[in-house]
Amino acid sequence: MTPLLQVDNLSVAFPTQTGEVAAVRDVSFNIPASGALGLVGESGSGKSATALAILRLLPPQARVRGAVRFSSEDLLSLPEDFMRRVRGARISMIFQEPMTALNPVMRVGKQVEEAVLAHERVSKSEARQRTMDALRDVAIPDPEQRARDYPHQLSGGQRQRVMIAMALVNRPQLLIADEPTTALDVTIQAQILELLQSLREKYKLAMLFISHDLGVISRVADQVAVMYAGEIVEMGPVARIFSDAQHAYTRGLISAIPTLKTDRSQPLRTVERQIPLAGAATLREVSPGHWVRAGQ
């Protein structure tokens, strides 16, 4: 079966005064339809650059190499106007800080409506109906009322729910979530993770979930790719990574999980294995679907 998203030897470099910064180096992974891959790694390891390269949202000076196939379309060579139809419709992205992604001077309901109208020719009342359904989906209480609020009138958790509603209103096949809960306090963070998990199941949504916290990843993803200095150093099913981490850096991430006790009480989901990666010459398979950087 062809994966929904197939990233092959993706590299991103940024030119600087002192030469090029290799932000992402030969990264390869697959996400099957309705599968969820967690991308974990410390600050600066290249997680966001990977996500932005997939959606072609990097600044123009960035040098991108490799291939990104989505439903067998080659995203890196798609004309920009086609790419615009992919973004926000078939692939959506949510970010860490919803305040910067939302328009501060537009009512939130209107913003979700505009996301609908940007991609589909539907009537205003249809767009409004879909907006209400989407706000209900993300469990915003009293959505008719909240839709009339401006972003600053909502709590951080509610703003993130609006962002999720906006991302999912066009029923994408893939959601890219870049540290969507990092700015929230622990209780709200848990609620948002639970919400994403239930929406994933409801809409058979595939997800690329980025976090520096492996504990957070284990709640929503079934596969994990560990990034270090621009490279994937280990990748495999979440349960395998927890039970049999091979790379020293992965072990470090596991021991750094503050909430490990509560996480372990939840059953780890079993899933499809990563199919062998054609381009991942630097990774070797230590058990089915569990890859580690060669030399480890």
Ligand X SMILES: Nc1ncnc2c1ncn2[C@@H]1O[C@H](COP(=O)(O)OP(=O)(O)OP(=O)(O)O)[C@@H](O)[C@H]1O
Interacting residues toward ligand X by CB under 6 A = 14, 21, 23, 41, 43-49, 59, 212
- Site map 27..56 versus Mg ion, x via CB under 5 A: ---------------------x--------
Token duo for residue 101:
């992604």
Size of the site for Mg ion (CB under 5 A): 1
In angstroms, the CA 254 to CA 282 distance is 23
> Do residues 30 and 3 make contact, with C-beta atoms less than 8 angstroms apart?
yes
Q: Tally the residues of the chain.
A: 296
Residue placing its CB nearer to ligand X in the complex, 21 or 268? 21
In angstroms, the CA 107 to CA 71 distance is 34
Residue placing its CB nearer to ligand X in the complex, 51 or 75? 51
- Please name which of 57, 173, 155, 175 lies closest in space to residue 108, comparing C-alpha atoms: 155
Q: Looking at residue 87, what DSSP letter applies? A: B
Least distance (Å) from ligand X to the CB of residue 47? 4
Least distance (Å) from ligand X to the CB of residue 165? 24
Least distance (Å) from ligand X to the CB of residue 208? 12
Would you count residue 96 as binding Mg ion (CB under 5 A)? no
Residue placing its CB nearer to ligand X in the complex, 10 or 162? 10
- Please name which of 182, 207, 194 lies closest in space to residue 39, comparing C-alpha atoms: 207
In angstroms, the CA 273 to CA 209 distance is 17
Residue 268 neighbours by CB under 8 Å, 6+ apart: 218, 238, 239, 242
212 binds, among Mg ion, ligand X, none (CB under 5 to 8 A by kind): ligand X
Least distance (Å) from ligand X to the CB of residue 212? 5
Residue placing its CB nearer to ligand X in the complex, 43 or 265? 43
Residue 277 neighbours by CB under 8 Å, 6+ apart: 8, 28, 29, 30, 283, 291
Least distance (Å) from ligand X to the CB of residue 20? 10
Residue placing its CB nearer to Mg ion in the complex, 225 or 292? 225
- Please name which of 133, 140, 206 lies closest in space to residue 174, comparing C-alpha atoms: 206
17 binds, among Mg ion, ligand X, none (CB under 5 to 8 A by kind): none
23 binds, among ligand X, Mg ion, none (CB under 5 to 8 A by kind): ligand X
11 binds, among ligand X, Mg ion, none (CB under 5 to 8 A by kind): none
In angstroms, the CA 174 to CA 179 distance is 16
104 binds, among ligand X, Mg ion, none (CB under 5 to 8 A by kind): none
Least distance (Å) from ligand X to the CB of residue 231? 12
Residue placing its CB nearer to Mg ion in the complex, 28 or 48? 48
Which contacts of 140-145 are long-range, i.e. CB under 8 A and separated by 24 or more positions?
140/165, 143/109
Residue placing its CB nearer to ligand X in the complex, 119 or 247? 247
Instruction: Return residues touching Mg ion (CB under 5 A).
Output: 48
